[in-house]
């Protein structure tokens, strides 16, 4: 989540943020996103974290002054038979931004436009499948990489992704198993603003605006799409090689033992 600290008067001095009232198994970290007093709050839940909603107190401290605010935190449990893939070691694209905050990363499309992190949130539930999304305002998506998968036998690999700079047809995804064999999937991906309703594609997460690098909102209909790839459930997965195409961007992957 993005947290803005605004001075009551005068210049903003050195500010530190802390959180209290965290549920068991959850930790919090805060890092500045810019010199404008905007901080990125990242809440991480372990496998043993208590599931459910809670109220967390976030306190900003600068010298002898402090101010607190209450935020709502919800910990979700992945459905039985699913495994959320940690994409963070492969992040190389800043797919979502903080509303009204400028950025120089190039954004989702490389041309200065990104999803709104406020709209996407930290997770999405699509058809009962939980997807974990990366932190806004920094690298949080993957393109043209080979992603390591958690070892296990799964029936499907479910992806939240999009094409940018136009529709991306006939893209190749290659899943490698621990025995060295592979499954190759060919999938067309719509541009985030021009859905083509390709076979195997759903409009998983709709949006009503996107962020621009100059800190303004571009109001328009756009989407993050969902795809489901069949796997050989008799074999243990190892990795997935994404298309060697910067215009195909993946934001989340979840494995499932169900077809």
Surface-to-core class of residue 78, CB atoms within 10 Å of its CB (0-12 exposed, 13-18 middle, 19+ buried): middle
Check residue 120 and give its pLDDT.
97
178-203 b/e (C-beta count within 10 Å ≥ 16 → b): eeeeebebebbbbbbbebeebeebee
pTM: 0.88
Check residue 122 and give its pLDDT.
92
Surface-to-core class of residue 30, CB atoms within 10 Å of its CB (0-12 exposed, 13-18 middle, 19+ buried): middle
Check residue 217 and give its pLDDT.
98
Check residue 36 and give its pLDDT.
65
Run of H or E residues at 120: helix 117-120
Report residue 49 as tokens: 């974290």
Check residue 2 and give its pLDDT.
77
- In this structure, the strands spanning 168-177 and 182-189 are antiparallel
Check residue 11 and give its pLDDT.
57
Cα separation, 94 vs 146, in Å, equals 17
The domains of the chain, with CATH numbers, are 2-75 (2.60.40), 82-256 (2.60.120)
Cα separation, 43 vs 144, in Å, equals 28
Low-confidence ranges of the chain (pLDDT < 50): none
Check residue 40 and give its pLDDT.
80
Check residue 33 and give its pLDDT.
77
Which residue in the block uniquely carries the two structure tokens 């969902």?
A: 226
């Amino acid at each position: 989540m993005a947290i803005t600290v605004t001075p009551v008067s005068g210049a903003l001095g050195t500010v530190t943020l802390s959180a209290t009232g965290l549920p068991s198994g959850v930790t919090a970290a805060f890092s500045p996103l810019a010199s404008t007093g905007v901080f990125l709050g990242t809440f991480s839940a372990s496998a043993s974290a208590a599931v459910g909603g809670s109220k967390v107190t976030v306190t900003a401290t600068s010298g002898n002054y402090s101010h607190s605010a209450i935020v709502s935190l919800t910990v979700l449990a992945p459905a039985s038979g699913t495994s959320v893939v940690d994409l963070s070691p492969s992040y190389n694209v800043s797919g979502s931004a903080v509303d009204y905050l400028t950025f120089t990363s190039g954004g989702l499309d490389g041309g200065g436009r990104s999803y709104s992190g406020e709209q996407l949130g930290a997770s999405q539930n699509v058809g009962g499948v939980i997807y974990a999304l990366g932190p806004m305002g920094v690298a949080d998506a993957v393109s043209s990489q080979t992603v390591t998968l958690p070892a296990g036998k799964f029936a499907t690999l479910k992806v939240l992704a999009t094409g940018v700079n136009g529709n991306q047809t006939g893209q190749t995804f290659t899943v490698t198993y621990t025995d060295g064999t592979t499954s190759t999937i060919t999938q067309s991906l719509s541009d985030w603003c021009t859905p083509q309703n390709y076979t195997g594609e759903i409009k998983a997460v709709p949006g009503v605006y996107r962020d621009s690098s100059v800190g303004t909102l571009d109001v328009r209909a756009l989407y993050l799409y969902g795809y489901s790839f069949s796997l050989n459930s008799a074999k243990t997965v190892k990795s997935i090689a994404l298309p060697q195409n910067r215009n195909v961007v993946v934001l989340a992957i979840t494995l499932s033992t169900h077809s």
